[in-house]
Amino acid sequence: MLNLVLFGPPGAGKGTQADFLIEKYKLNHLSTGDLLRDQIAAETELGKEAKRYIDKGYLAPDSVVIEMIKNILKENKEANGYIFDGFPRTVAQAKALDELLNEYNIPVSGMLCLRVDEEELKQRLLNRGKTSGRPDDQDFSIIENRIRIYNEKTEPLRDYYRAQNKYYKIDGAGSIEEVTKRLVDTIAIL
């Protein structure tokens, strides 16, 4: 069973690459960003709480995100494997994920970390903001905040997965197809 953690800063290409990988490897796509945006659109209590953080470029609370993941894993016991896209984003989330996957005896196969220059990230997100309607993509200071929070809270996860020999660095610059090829080549050695 293939369980991939697709990792990287905002705008690194996680969602973009996940779309291709789920098709190729027949995996379930679990994007916490998408799940949270669905909750916001449906105006649920969880969505209203998450919106307060996301719109300003902060992470949603760990408890909210972990509960969401727990329910999905429970409902999809027959899955062929997962792409965790944008999750985990904190050490607490990574520990919770390991515990949950241990319960089902399906460990993370590898953490694929997309590396992209900060200026390029800002440009990609601002470009997406022109059409996505996402408030967090439209304001330069919010984008900068998201990158700062990534460096502070999410980047340390590299060490968490490195300690388990599951960390793989992928160059996220270049065309979407070039990045896809690097990912596929890395998945082949997992």
How far is Cα 116 from Cα 123, in angstroms, rounded to an integer?
Answer: 11
Name the minimum Å distance from CB 128 to ligand B4P: 3
Name the minimum Å distance from CB 91 to ligand B4P: 12
Q: Which DSSP helix (H) or strand (E) runs through 62?
A: helix 62-75
Name the minimum Å distance from CB 69 to ligand B4P: 8
Instruction: Give me the residues that bind ligand B4P (CB under 6 A), please.
Output: 10-16, 32-33, 36, 53-54, 59-60, 65, 86-87, 89, 93, 124, 127-128, 136, 146, 175-176, 179
Please state the separation of Cα 165 from the chain's center in Å: 19
Name the minimum Å distance from CB 107 to ligand B4P: 19
Q: Which is nearer to ligand B4P, 136 or 170 (CB)?
A: 136
**Tell me, what amino acid is at 42?**
A
Q: Which is nearer to ligand B4P, 25 or 53 (CB)?
A: 53
Q: Which is nearer to ligand B4P, 77 or 130 (CB)?
A: 130
**Are 160 and 88 within 8 A, CB to CB?**
no
Q: Which is nearer to ligand B4P, 105 or 141 (CB)?
A: 141
Angle at 124 between CA 132 and CA 158, to 5 degrees: 110
Largest CA distance in the chain: 43
Residue nearest to ligand B4P (CB): 33
How far is Cα 94 from Cα 122, in angstroms, rounded to an integer?
Answer: 26
